[in-house]
Amino acid sequence: MDLITLSIMLLKIIVVFIAMLLGVAYLTWLERKVLGHMQVRYGPMRVGWHGLLQPIADGIKLFFKEDIVVANANKVIYVLAPFVVTVCAFASFAVVPFGNELTIFGQTIPLRIADVNIGILYIFALSSLSVYGLTFAGWSSNNKYALMGGLRASAQMISYELPAGLSIIGVLMLTGSLSMVEIVNAQKDLWFIIKQPLGFILFLICSVAECNRTPFDLPEAESELVAGFHVEYSSMKFALFFLAEYAHMIVMASLVTTLFLGGWHLPFIDISSLHPTTLIGQLVVSLLPICVFGVKVFCFLFFLIWLRATYPRLRYDQLMKFGWKVLFPLALFNIVLTAILQIFNLL
């Protein structure tokens, strides 16, 4: 690997990381704003124009808060837990293809950090590891509510990871590959949401549950568990949990976009077949896929916030029953259905 490719690689990682951080910061702002307007109030208005600087103010505030480690906590695990969650959430984005190619100064840069041939499994592996963070945060704080939250988090993540994994098998059968880039390329003509409507709905529900969002936000149900697994955390450790949760939302949004909504592809227009000669044209063709991807991710994030404003929380037994008795059989049915349709060349 020569110096130029190495520096491009590093640059990509830094840019993606900063974009994720900014995305997370403004996702909190978006959530407060959208929730506010849905509840006929304004949301944050004081800091900056329509509260646009609110996330930065919040960040500074959290930095200067007192960092408390509870006396009876298991110190090492207590400190480790928020880092595990954050690292897993941010590292997942490494295999997401957020654009096609950037052609600039004669260099062609593929717009993804890594194209691993098991990309989708990589994301699932990291998200199954992030359960540890939540569980250990709950256990190590030595608090009843936190422990309940941690237990709920691990039970919920395990139960919903299974239908999530099974619901994307239809997509993998249509693509014939586990690589995220291949999955996006396979959707050039027709998005998988049309070929796999059942798989899409199942994965959508599971991804909401994986993000611990309403109506599946039992691990941090504030009206019964105070705040769930992070009840004893303060200052930056608390902020890390928040960062991880919103980063996880962004990763899930990009996963839904990549798997079912065609990734960076526009409907009816094939961006990758355009070859403009002018520099500006080339730049537009390179940056357009990123914008398309961003818009799709934004739509999913808005959908998550919308859900939070609309639905009440499920009861715990309802959550488990729904996962195992509804989603799981339906996911299996989707696999069989896809296989049959594929044998008769109907897909």
Partner 1 sequence: MEAILFYGLAAIMVVSSLMVILRKNPVHSALFLVLTFLCLAVLYLLLNAQFIAAIQVIVYAGAIMVLFIFVIMLLNLESEVASKSSHGLQKFWAMAISIVLAISFVSIMTVRVFTGGKGDFSPEAVNAAGNSEVIGRLLFTEFLLPFEITSVLLLAAIIGAIVLAKKKL
Q: What is the token pair recorded at 174?
A: 């249509």
Nearer to partner 1, 136 or 216 (CB): 136
The nearest distance, CB 163 to partner 1, in angstroms, is 14
C-alpha to C-alpha distance for 237 and 146, rounded to whole angstroms: 15
Nearer to partner 1, 147 or 174 (CB): 147
- Contacting residue, 8, 9, 118, 307, with partner 1 by CB under 8 A: 118
Are 51 and 40 contacting, i.e. CB atoms less than 8 angstroms apart? Answer: no
Q: Does the footprint of partner 1 cover residue 135 (CB under 8 A)? A: yes
Determine if 86 is a binding residue for partner 1 (CB under 8 A): no
Q: How far is the CB of 128 from partner 1 (least distance, A)?
A: 3
As a whole number of angstroms, the distance between CA 92 and CA 98 comes to: 13
Nearer to partner 1, 25 or 151 (CB): 151
CB of 162 to partner 1, least distance (A): 9
C-alpha 254/C-alpha 127 separation (Å) is 14
Among 125, 194, 295, 339, binds partner 1 (CB under 8 A): 125
> Can residue 53 be called a binding residue for partner 1 (CB under 8 A)?
no
Is there a cis peptide before residue 215, judged by omega within 30 degrees of 0?
yes
Give Cβ neighbours of residue 272 (< 8 Å, ≥ 6 apart).
100, 101, 188
Residue 117 within binding range of partner 1, rule CB under 8 A: yes
Pick between residue 34 and residue 211 the one whose CB is nearest to partner 1. 211
**Is 97 in contact with 181 (CB distance < 8 Å)?**
yes
How far apart (Å, rounded) are the C-alpha atoms in residues 316 and 306? Answer: 22
Q: What does the alpha-carbon distance between residue 153 and residue 279 come to, in Å, rounded to a whole number?
A: 50
Q: Is 178 in the site for partner 1 (CB under 8 A)?
A: yes
Q: Minimum CB separation from partner 1 for residue 121, in Å? A: 4
Query: Would you count residue 150 as binding partner 1 (CB under 8 A)?
Result: yes
70 binds partner 1 (CB under 8 A): no
State yes or no: residue 318 binds partner 1 (CB under 8 A). no
The tokens 């390179």 sit on which residue? 286
Long-range contacts of 51-55, Cβ-Cβ distance < 8 Å, separation of 24 or more? 54/29, 55/25, 55/26, 55/28, 55/29
The two tokens of residue 106 are 């004669």
Which helix (H) or strand (E) segment holds residue 109: the answer is strand 107-110
CB of 11 to partner 1, least distance (A): 23
Taking the complex as a whole, the smallest distance from the CB of residue 107 to partner 1 amounts, in Å, to: 25
**Interacting residue ranges for partner 1, rule: CB under 8 A:** 74, 77, 116-118, 121-122, 124-125, 128-129, 131-132, 135-136, 139, 147, 150-151, 154-155, 157-158, 161, 177-178
